[in-house]
Chain A
Amino acid sequence: MKTGFKRQLARLVLGLSASLPVAQGAAAVQPLSMIGQGEGTLNVVAWEGYAQDDWVKPFEAATGCMVHAKYAGSSDEMVALMRSGGGGQYDVVSASGDATLRLIFGHNVQPINMALIPAWKNFIPQLQSPDFNTVGGVHYGVSYEWGPNTLLYNTKTFSTAPASWSVIYDPKYAGQVTVPDNPIQIADAALYLSKAQPALGITDPYELNQTQMDAVAALLKAQAKLIKKYWALASDEIQLFTSGDAVVGAAWPYQTNTLQAANVPVADTIPAEGATGWADTWMISSKAPHPNCAYMWINWVTTPKVQAQQAIYFGETPANTLACKEMDAQQPGACAQYHGDAPAAYFNQIKFWKTPRTQCGNGKDDCLDYAAWQREWQSIKG
């Protein structure tokens, strides 16, 4: 009896160690060479509003892949969901640029065969192989939609659009400034300093060494005295501008649209220094149980029609250039309103969110990682 147990134990240990190389092999999984028969099911992790019936129902009817969507509230929740239960629970995720690298380096997502994604060649060139989803020439995802973090201001306080982000660091507006309560906000200050203090040598606002971070933190600690409130939800900022508690701050286009619809005198702009922004990517789990349905989904949501539906629903800009005409057809003027027709210069002004890492782009290893950013952010806001 006892030896039998021991033998079983030994077999278990052997089995476990034997399965390890298999698990590691899954990390280097080969991309699909062709899209086969759908598996009938697709498990999706997405931002709220990214799996609306308007385009999910027709997808289910056309492919037979029944969509089960799980909404996540933050990039970190998305990463956690894709890693939960060993990683085989979900097929696709709509990851933002500050989550994508964590998923790639965590071996949680698989390479994509771009030959199977026909819409890809119509994407704006900047979103075909961006460095937040393409590593070493290998695509780990397909870009989806994007938007800038804008400078929102009260038009009664500012008769013309502020030309510089300096207004949110200006003591003149003490107690009337609001910015997001998010460590990635450090990049906004770094972007401003890259222009205001070129001597610091900040080339990428997401790659900061300790000296650069100290300068950025000093600016943000001075700004903290001017802040009315660090906003956690978009609705917080909408209320601050509606009540007049804040007159200038960092925002998303969504807030501007909502406030203008409520006749609050606000407008937004991208100042001379440029802006940070978000660009979302559909990625497929390295252990996706339904890879064929996953490819079908990505092809479905990158069609001009769905791209346009998504852009208008969420207030963002599609990656597919052919979506512009569709947007105007669905809602006249929508393409211009959501920058679908904006020139490349508009996109190039935006420094998209990515995960801060210790490896700087310049080959050095002295940059601060995201955990350090979070600690810094905590001591900035107090």
Chain B
Amino acid sequence: MMEPATVRLVVAGVYALSALALAVALLRQPPAARKYCYPFVAVVAVTAVTVGFRAIGVGTVPIGSGELDAPQALADYLSYPLLFGFTAFLAGASRRYLGVVVVTAVIMRAGYDFAELGEGVLGTAGPLTILGGYVLLVGLYFGPLASAAERRSPKRALFYRKMRNLILFVFAILIGWAMLQLFGFFDPFTQVVTLEYIDLLLRVGFAAFVVMNARTLLDEGSTAGDPGTLPTAATSTAD
């Protein structure tokens, strides 16, 4: 069967093509909306590189009893805070909530590293940190951030709800995957394939989702603070 490196090379190619496609799609967006899309397209592009590095075996740093996959960590530390932070941004959260969300996402990712590389207390605290961080994010997204989103325009609130539901679900799957991986349910091939698939959805999928709905952010200026206003033309997009 294919080696993990081969898989990663293929995935890196997919990332590269996706980045190109997203860039093209980005150009179709109004200039004012593009600024919201650049980070996601950039993350996809960076991820294409990091995955390529990993495919060729570059960036592995021995730490403790294990090895730190630096390209993977780089891509994750960029993408996760971006995804959670952007979702909070869609809700119109304050800087404090944005900071809490971003830091929580970083801590969760760090918890995975501790669980992967650490032993003893650190190895046990890693998964608990991930679970605790996830519960905290769920509380924030369905609590104060949801309330804040209801005060935004209907389209932006809808955008927020979709983004929130998708990211929480995918991260729940990712956490589950991490737990299974920590307990050794995967072999190297299935591990790489499933992880790259999830990462591909997280990065490319959400980047495409943001690019396609970036216009929503532009309507905020005219409808913010009037959540009950219905656009004159309601067109179903089925996206």
A binds B: no
